[in-house]
Every structure is written in C-alpha cells, then in structure tokens.
C-alpha cells in the first residue's frame, strides 16, 4: 500500500481558515466581530473614528485570519462612518477577492430608532426606512450578534444614507 504524504494543519494555519468579519461603524464605538462558522470568536471595540481605526484593526486581523466574507452595517447612521467603512471594505473586497455583504443598521440595534438630525430619527417599518419626529426615543446601542447567518446579509452592499446631502 502506497502511503500518501498528508499534511496536517498546524493550529495557526487552521485559525487562518474560514472566518467572516462584520463591521458596525455608524458611530462610536466602532465594532468589529470575527466569526467562525457563524459564531462570534473575537470582538473589537474602538472609540476612535472609523477613518482612523479600521486600517489598524484589519492590519492585525488579516495577519491572524483568512476571511471568506466581509459584512457591514450599510446605514442609516453617521454619513462619514458609512462612507469610510464602505470604501475601506469595498477596496479590501476587490483586492482580496472576498465578497462584501451588508444589511441595514436596524439588524444590530433591535430595530430601535437611529438618530438622523434634530428630533428626526430613522425608523424601520417592516421593509421601509422612514424619517419620523420622536420626542423621547428609546435608543438601543448597536451590538455585534453572538451568531450570524450569512443568508441574512445581502450582496446589495451600496451604502444607505437615508437623507440627501444638504446643499
């Protein structure tokens, strides 16, 4: 019987396989989660601005893991956070040939209102996102889910701003 030359994976190389990265950068803190087979295995919180912290965070994560998907909260929320996150992840997606998926921000805050401006808040009514005046909204902070199902995210990953720029 001929023996085959089987290579066993070291723990470090096994760690580099089959992970997904999820980014919520719609305000402070910026949240980044690393998932293996849908389960959260690492969580990073940074009080910095997404333009300052995403490159640092991913520099470290890309040395540690190999990703099969990048996922982000595409809005509504901070215009700058949405833009920076989209451009950063879209660039990584193209250069690394890794799919970029997205969903709206309500997925990460139990569907609670999201501040727009003044007393206006974004609210989600089934499938539509609308602006509504709310005097005293119950705001729930964004959270990384403990588990994710990739089917709940969409390849339609363009940012959702919700309101037009003032001009």
From the CB of residue 57, how many other CB atoms can be counted at a distance below 10 Å?
Answer: 19
How much is the average pLDDT of 84-105? 97
44: tokens are: 């990073």
Q: Is the pLDDT of residue 164 over 80?
A: no
For residue 4, the model assigns a pLDDT of 37
CATH architecture of 11-108+144-152: 2-Layer Sandwich (3.30)
CB 119 within 8 A of CB 133: yes
63: tokens are: 């040395």
102 — phi, psi (to 5°)? -155, 165
Residue % of the chain over a pLDDT of 90: 77
**Helix 50-64 vs helix 79-96: crossing angle, to nearest 10:** 30
CB 63 within 8 A of CB 57: no
- pTM of the full predicted structure? 0.87
Residue 126 binned pLDDT confidence (cut-offs 50, 70, 90) = confident
For the ranges 13-17, 31-35, 74-78, the lowest mean pLDDT is seen at 13-17
- Cis bond upstream, residue 29 (ω within 30): yes
How much is the average pLDDT of 148-162? 94
For residue 18, the model assigns a pLDDT of 83
For residue 144, the model assigns a pLDDT of 98
Q: Is the pLDDT of residue 65 over 90?
A: yes
Q: What CA–CA distance (Å, rounded) separates 41 from 90?
A: 23
């Amino acid at each position: 019987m001929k023996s085959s030359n089987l290579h066993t994976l070291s723990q470090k190389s096994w760690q580099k396989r089959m992970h997904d990265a999820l980014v919520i950068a719609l305000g402070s803190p910026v949240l980044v989660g690393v998932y293996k087979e849908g389960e959260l295995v690492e969580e990073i919180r940074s009080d910095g601005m997404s333009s300052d912290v995403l490159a640092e965070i991913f520099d470290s994560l890309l040395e540690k893991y190999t990703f099969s998907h990048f996922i982000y909260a595409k809005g509504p929320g901070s215009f700058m956070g949405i833009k920076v996150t989209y451009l950063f992840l879209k660039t990584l997606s193209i250069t690394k040939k890794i799919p970029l998926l997205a969903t709206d921000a309500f997925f990460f805050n139990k569907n609670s209102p999201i501040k727009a401006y003044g007393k206006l808040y974004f609210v989600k009514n089934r499938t539509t996102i609308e602006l509504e005046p709310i005097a005293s909204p119950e705001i729930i902070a964004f959270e990384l889910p403990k588990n994710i199902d990739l089917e709940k995210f969409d390849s339609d990953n363009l940012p959702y701003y919700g309101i037009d720029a003032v001009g």
